[in-house]
Chains A and B, each alone.
Chain A
Amino acid sequence: MARVHNWQIGREMSYWYPESRPQKQFAAVFDINKCIGCQTCTLACKTTWTSGKGQEYMLWNNVESKPYGCYPLAWDLKLLEMLNGGKWNGKAYEGQTIFESAPAGERVSGWRPDDHDYAYPNVGEDDCTGQVDKGASLSLPHMHWFFYLARICNHCTYPACLASCPRGSIYKRPEDGIVLVDQGRCRGYQECVRGCPYKKVFYNPLTGTSEKCIACFPKIEQGLQPQCFVNCIGKIRLAGWISKPDRARAENPIDYLVHIKKVALPLFPQFGLEPNVYYIPPVHVPPPFLRQMFGPGVDEAIQTYKNAPNDPDLSGLLCLFGSTEMVVPRWRRQGETVFGTDDKGTELVKIPMKEPVYVRAGYDKLYQIARTNCP
């Protein structure tokens, strides 16, 4: 094993291959607070990519309710058990990653779901943590809660699927960091399914190969955001490019949210993969649960997010989510307007931070029709 640096756990760690970061790294920020669990993203992905034979059970994108929802069953609990929960010391992770805890004969610590683990996608969905008694009132954090966790492949910097494949059939594209299974080379050993802790590689029993989220790379290559991003009616997602922390640029939306404001956090950083989908944690959930899921930056992230109304840059940037199909590599705010631009500064999108409000008469005399105003 090689020694590589993983900034998300604040230390070096062991990995099957030497550190080799792509020229650009595809990344995303999901604002959990805005997700309503409508599964439009899931269907957008499903109809685009996984409507074929053998793909019936595949959800490259899924949305699951936490704490009880999961697809496949208990994917997160099993990994946490394997790592004994993991131990943080401040921002440094002192426990073992899935690479470091690999038993003899294995490349990573993992487990492989069987078909029954995929057979009950509704287990735990929309279940909150307890009974909300009559007369109860809510305060933050809530005494009983659940939230929606939208998940795609994290296109990790240190993918466990890639490390697990004995044939080298999985590769990380140097131009954008997207992780792909070579469908011409895969022989369906399902080692990647076993290795990926997020269980985002799926075996197709009718082609005999394993398949996974491709970050809609044909769209990315045209400067467009993936299907699950642009179809999100809650506008919770923003795709872009992430830099290493020491090269973060404030004009890069992802860098700003992840590295500068530190309001978006990786999912289970203790697994050690340096995942590249970042989540703005839900403000209504008790922090201990969130710390286990998103690492030690949770309290700071929630504080920053709750302060967004007093932070015009942060609240302005949040307006860019879902505002355009195009990938926005740079942004800037001018007064009450937020601009998304390409790398050369050419405007791609312009968003008012406060949308103008028009109040129309309740009865339109010209057309002789009653109108309803929506707030």
Chain B
Amino acid sequence: MRKTAVIVALSLIWLSGCRRGPARTNEVVAASVGKAPLNPGDSAWEQAPEYLARLLPQDLVDPRLMKPSTPEVLVRSLTNGTDIAFRLQWVDPVANDAPGAGTFVDGCAVQVPKKIEPSAPDPQMGQAGKPVEVAFWRADWQASVNGRGDTIRDLYPNASIDHYPFEAKSLEAGSAAAKEMAMRYAPAWAMGNRRVGPRETPVEDMVAEGPGTLAPAASTTSRGQGVRTKDGWRVVIVRKLPEGLAPKVRTQVAFAVWEGSAQEAGARKMRTGWIPLAVREAK
């Protein structure tokens, strides 16, 4: 009998030691660090508590996501008092990082209210007069930052191209005339709307005041880095700390994940509602 009790006790001790890492919290808590890390593998992340964010399909506004995909995302957060970093980690066995006709890319986003106030904006992209700020990361932007080129052959290696007018022999390669000619055939770029193409950051800052109103922020100051894990994505988004957020003050944060293989884009996404966001006082 005594022998059995010892075995049970030892087993319990062993089991308790199996679950390593920080305790899970019921709100997103940003731990204080000297520098908000951009690297998802930075050891500083070990100091951050973990929040398990259950995801819901966006089924409130047409077009909706009718079939749930990514069920949850693990969130950790760190702050240096100026910036706040979020690390999102989710299971996605196949990386979708190449845009194409009928092809969509993986992505994630962090949303916070523009102002900290008692009444939070609508969690679905904010509402008129109560804007939200969104920092958006995309896998194809990450691929571009990582060095993938922006020609059709980078997406379709066997593509055959006869001729582009802006690569005519009569135009000096890289000249202003050649660039002007190329821009004629890329109207989105001519409008300053570079949805894909060469990028220096995989993140874009945006603002919204309700569904369908998403617009680029005046400038993108957030940074990001996404890496593949053995079974999914681990993405860090670093943005400025929401104004007024400090220990004992709470705001909200929401997350969204797009699964490229499920043809998710725009409103078709998995998302959370508002989750309390707190900053842990520095020790």
Contact = CB atoms under 8 A, between A and B. Distances in A.
A205 B155 contact: yes
A203 interface: yes
A202 B102 CA distance: 10
A54 B193 CA distance: 15
A208 B100 contact: no
A29 to B, nearest CB: 29
B63 A164 contact: yes
Contact of A206 (B163, B190, B196, B267): B196
Given A166-B62, A166-B63, A184-B193, A209 B101 contact: no
Contact of B214 (A47, A167, A203, A208): A167
Contacts of A113: 101-102
A166 B61 contact: yes
A207 B188 contact: yes
Interface stretch (A102-110, A269-277, A290-298, A312-320): A102-110
Contact of B188 (A106, A166, A167, A184): A184
Main secondary structure of the interface of A (DSSP, over half): loop
B74 interface: no
A363 B62 CA distance: 75
A53 B211 CA distance: 31
B94 interface: no
Given A189-B265, A204-B188, A168 B101 contact: no
Interface in B73-100: 98-100
B244 interface: no
Contacts of A205: 98-101, 103, 152, 155, 196
A106 B63 contact: yes
Closest 8 CB pairs of A and B: A208-B195, A52-B185, A114-B102, A105-B64, A208-B196, A184-B191, A189-B266, A209-B188
Contact of A211 (B66, B102, B187, B212): B187
A55 interface: yes
A246 interface: no
A208 B263 contact: no
A206 B267 CA distance: 22
Contact of A183 (B184, B190, B263): B190
Interface of A: 47, 49-57, 104-107, 112-115, 117-118, 164, 166-168, 183-191, 193, 202-209, 211
Contacts of B101: 57, 113-115, 117-118, 190, 193, 202-203, 205
B122 interface: no
Contacts of A187: 195, 214, 266
Contacts of A208: 99, 188, 194-197
B191 A183 contact: yes
Given A187-B195, A188-B195, A207 B62 contact: no
A206 to B, nearest CB: 6
A46 to B, nearest CB: 11
Q: Could you tell me the dominant secondary structure of chain B's interface residues?
A: loop
Contact of A105 (B63, B185, B189): B63
A53 B102 contact: no
B211 A166 contact: yes
B102 A115 contact: yes
Given A50-B185, A207-B189, A166 B195 contact: no
Point out which of A53, A55, A190, A209 has the most chain B C-beta atoms below 10 A from its C-beta.
A53
B186 interface: yes
Contacts of B189: 207
Nearest to A214: B187
B102 A185 contact: no
B165 interface: yes
A55 B151 CA distance: 11
A57 B194 CA distance: 20
Given A56-B159, A206-B152, A190 B102 contact: yes
Contacts of A51: 163-165, 185
B51 to A, nearest CB: 28
Contact of B161 (A56, A190, A209): A56
Contacts of A115: 100-103, 156
Contact of A186 (B99, B102, B165, B188): B188
A55 B164 CA distance: 10
A321 B59 CA distance: 50
Nearest to A112: B102
Contacts of A203: 99-102
Nearest to B163: A51
Contacts of B161: 56
Given A53-B151, A114-B103, A105 B59 contact: yes
A55 B185 contact: yes
B62 A190 contact: no
Given A53-B186, A207-B189, 8 more contacts: A47-B165, A51-B163, A53-B152, A56-B152, A183-B190, A202-B101, A206-B150, A209-B195
B44 interface: no
A203 B65 CA distance: 21
Nearest to A102: B62
B66 A54 contact: no
A56 B263 CA distance: 22
B164 A53 contact: yes
Given A105-B63, A208-B196, A166 B212 contact: yes
B192 interface: yes
A186 B151 CA distance: 21
B101 to A, nearest CB: 5
A161 to B, nearest CB: 13
Contacts of A55: 185
B197 A52 contact: no
Interface in B156-203: 156, 159, 161, 163-166, 182, 184-197
7 contacts: A56-B152, A104-B66, A105-B66, A112-B102, A183-B191, A206-B186, A207-B197
Contacts of A117: 101-102
Nearest to A189: B266
B203 to A, nearest CB: 15
A207 B195 contact: yes
